[in-house]
Chain A
């Protein structure tokens, strides 16, 4: 075997070994609110919706870094969410939210919010329809 082949194999083996070792630490799971409550204190991704029947608590004048709201998921789970940063401007319009953080008792302490906003779904026919109906009303 040529030296270059040995080097190649060693490098690839090292890369694979590294990934296998670190992967379990780096990866987390998508959870429902119910399963998240079983995993207290573990960093997870939550797929949920904003609970529109409850108030979104955010007052930037008193504290711009405090947002609290309720999230529900399709399986009927519900939790309070606290996020220590500004309110994403499109929160109220979002159709789905991915919350990254930890469950702490009954409160989900969120570190990052990803929104799936209707504005990003211009090509979605359902959304086009809603947009259109809005336009007719205004």
Chain B
């Protein structure tokens, strides 16, 4: 059959590029392998290296071609391709077309692929004698990465999945594909669109950055393997160090961009929730940071010459393992935003990837381990290297703890158990991490003042005493006047928070001081200290913003729900959502909050709610502060035509706090279109009127006019009804609708029973008084919202920037020194 209107060439080009990148990576691996083996024979070495470089450059071109062709497909809305059909739609703004790339699995692997190639080119330019062995490992990794995009069957096993799949091949059994003009049908007029959560500017930035971090974790391992392979057991550390620092910097900032995205567009009320996806990216960062420190101490002292290999290997392995956990769907129900699996093929793909690299490392390591030079002399307790090792170990232990709990679903699968983290998952992590923060904070503060090899006590005490006193004063001030009084988990935990605050302030002060005392203000070599200051700021920001986080949308209706308790077993009202009826000011914390209006934007599917915050002085009534927040919500037509709500928060940023507001519920606008009419019936006292879910008894009808009643000065006459509504669920309500007349104009005063969605009115005709009932779902507009206050969250974001800057400065310093 000839299908009409398809654009097949572009997809074929893309698929060809994917296959080409696979073949080229195999050639590059082999040629670099030969080049390394023949390093002694200059002529052969050069010939192999030339071939390898050509192959690698061809591979890079192929990978770029994949990206470009896929972008063309998405940009031009070629919906015959599954990728465009599943992940984009015509109304999507161009800036989010890029985000379509990483909604699917293939796009993320493509990014990884791409950054590997770019980094490979940098290695080729800079690594000199290290090029051949390092690039062998990198190209081998590329063989695996490019197979993720193949989607080709080898002996009945599907390997990878191609992003250039056509809808009619993916779903060949669908009847529509017997129509050669299927592209003209309504179903193919538009794509399914991008997950609304990804339609956020952080999601344009976060994935590429995080994948720089992912891709760069291959390089330290590549150098370590190259060192073992070419028997340069210590020399590899120097050229590997800038890469490790680069890895730590980008993984770190990438993770925190994800946190910023979570903060701004997820409604779990914070930037971190110990979700498996978050944990999975944190663990490799913890280990690479540990590895950086071991590399540094080894370079300066020669100690830990063997363990440095293991730290590097672990950082790479943990990264692949994390990706395995989040990408293959093994986490299943435990993660809010885990990806779904490509099924078995992806699962085994990762298992093979991990096994091959582990095997490669083990074989080379154990073959060479007796040749790795080890210092006989023991580390002094007063030496810097001793405590750096301890610190690195604490990093790794914390990551083992996180990994264990994150891997529970996998452990369940392997051992057939049914275990899950209990009532309070965040506390399971926080409880341990706060102690780790104390230990790491203290170590980070004091270690720089220690010298390598050993430190004379008087020297150390003299230098550290001033920063210690300053830090003690500052942290005491914060503890005493900061109002940090987080007692949800008892006094022990509160104590730990205050200790951790001291430790983080100590880190900040001591490392700032070290830039002058220890480094004499030499900015170029201050990268480490700056990163430490940033780390201290991050800790401090986390501690203050989390322990002082406050729900301000407490519903003060006074209803305490029986049986509901907080994690420590105390009674908890749990009423953290407040309902705002349009136009009705509702007190919330110190604010008077009003849902004023909602609006849509023609090019945007979002519905924006204008929520007005007003802070008045309670004594004078003077307006102290007024601002509007615009939390928005997406209304998505889902299955069965039902609309679903997906909300994005809005925050009011102050220098010292954020007020964070998001919509948790709203009425379905479809059902709130008010098409219902009043049904009027003549009534007198004692009458009964039925409505769909109950009946109304008229208790009395009062008629009054100016002549008979002197209390009616404002209107000419009035008709009032006193009624009782008996609902089918056993509830009863009182209502008093009325009609007033002035100058022959009727002024109805309607009464609304919200719970029953009915509106009552009184009417007067020649026949007498009538009672009108309107049953309507759209009785009123309301939103339910939740609001938090995050104090000093900016310390966290500033800390992240400072840490990243420190890493990069240090990287640049090491790189130029090489």
Q: Which residues of A contact B (CB under 8 A)?
A: 2-4, 7-8, 11-12, 15, 18-19, 22, 25-31, 43, 45, 47, 58-66, 84-87, 89-90, 92-93, 96, 98, 100, 104, 109, 111, 114, 116, 118-125, 128-132, 134-136, 138
Contact = CB atoms under 8 A, between A and B. Distances in A.
Contact of B574 (A29, A45, A85): A85
Interface in B443-481: none
B665 A87 contact: yes
A59 B727 CA distance: 15
A11 B394 contact: yes
Q: Dominant SS at the B interface?
A: mixed
9 contacts: A3-B381, A4-B378, A29-B420, A85-B577, A109-B564, A114-B334, A122-B192, A129-B171, A132-B187
Given A64-B577, A93-B642, A136-B186, A123 B105 contact: yes
A61 B756 CA distance: 11
Contacts of A118: 638-639
Contacts of A131: 192, 639
Contacts of B563: 104, 109
B713 to A, nearest CB: 35
A25 to B, nearest CB: 8
Nearest to B390: A7
Looking at A43, A63, A116, the one whose CB has the most chain B CB atoms below 10 A away is: A63
A84 B571 CA distance: 13
A56 to B, nearest CB: 12
B428 A135 contact: no
Query: Which 7 residue pairs across A and B have the least CB separation, nearest first?
Result: A89-B645, A28-B422, A86-B664, A64-B784, A64-B577, A43-B423, A30-B418
A132 to B, nearest CB: 6
Nearest to B435: A18
A19 B755 contact: no
Interface string B616-630: 000000000000000
A29 B419 contact: yes
B362 interface: no
A61 B644 contact: no
Given A19-B401, A30-B419, A124-B340, 15 more contacts: A2-B379, A7-B390, A11-B393, A26-B421, A26-B428, A27-B421, A43-B422, A60-B784, A61-B780, A65-B576, A86-B786, A89-B647, A109-B564, A125-B171, A134-B639
A132 B389 contact: no
B342 A93 contact: no
Given A30-B420, A60-B782, A64-B577, A135 B186 contact: yes
A118 B170 CA distance: 19
A84 B561 contact: yes
A123 B340 contact: yes
B105 A122 contact: no
Looking at A26, A121, A130, the one whose CB has the most chain B CB atoms below 10 A away is: A26
B730 interface: no
Nearest to A130: B639
Nearest to A92: B642
Contacts of A4: 378-379, 386, 389-390
A34 to B, nearest CB: 14
A45 B637 CA distance: 30
A60 B187 contact: no
B122 interface: no
Nearest to A8: B393
B420 A45 contact: yes
Contacts of A100: 423
Contacts of B664: 64, 85-86
Given A15-B400, A104-B563, A122 B195 contact: yes
Contact of A27 (B87, B336, B419): B419
B378 A86 contact: no
A96 B333 contact: yes
B171 A128 contact: yes
Given A61-B581, A62-B754, A84-B561, A129 B174 contact: yes
B94 to A, nearest CB: 21
Contact of A3 (B192, B386, B393): B386
Contact of B86 (A22, A59, A122): A122
A22 B427 CA distance: 12
Contacts of B639: 93, 118, 130-131, 134
A90 B563 CA distance: 26
Contact of A86 (B105, B192, B665): B665
Contact of A62 (B103, B394, B755): B755
Contacts of A28: 419-423
B579 interface: yes
Contacts of B665: 58, 60, 64, 86-87, 89
Given A19-B404, A136-B187, A11 B397 contact: yes
A99 to B, nearest CB: 11
B340 A63 contact: no
A91 to B, nearest CB: 9
A61 B420 contact: no
Contacts of B359: none
Contacts of B576: 65, 85
Interface in B629-653: 636-642, 644-647
A94 to B, nearest CB: 10
A134 B342 CA distance: 24
B67 interface: no
Given A64-B665, A123-B340, A3 B644 contact: no
A30 to B, nearest CB: 4
B74 to A, nearest CB: 15
A19 B428 CA distance: 11
A2 B397 CA distance: 20
A122 B638 CA distance: 12
A74 B355 CA distance: 37
A3 to B, nearest CB: 6
B559 interface: yes
Contact of B638 (A25, A65, A93, A132): A93
Contacts of B185: 136
B555 A65 contact: yes
B13 interface: no
B294 to A, nearest CB: 12
Nearest to A127: B639
B682 interface: no
Contacts of A25: 422
Contacts of A19: 401, 404
A124 B104 CA distance: 12
B117 interface: no
B638 A119 contact: yes
Given A86-B784, A114-B336, A136-B186, A93 B644 contact: yes
Nearest to B633: A89
Interface in B158-205: 170-171, 174, 176, 185-187, 192, 195
Nearest to A26: B428
B564 A64 contact: no
B440 interface: no
B399 to A, nearest CB: 11
Contacts of A27: 408, 419-422
A84 B576 CA distance: 9
A59 B755 contact: yes
B692 interface: no
A123 B174 contact: no
Contacts of B754: 61-62
Contacts of A59: 755
Contacts of B637: 138
B152 interface: no
A7 B577 CA distance: 49
A89 B638 CA distance: 11
B760 interface: no
B381 A84 contact: no
Nearest to B408: A27
B575 interface: yes
B187 A135 contact: yes
B718 interface: no
A81 B628 CA distance: 37
Interface in B61-89: 86-87
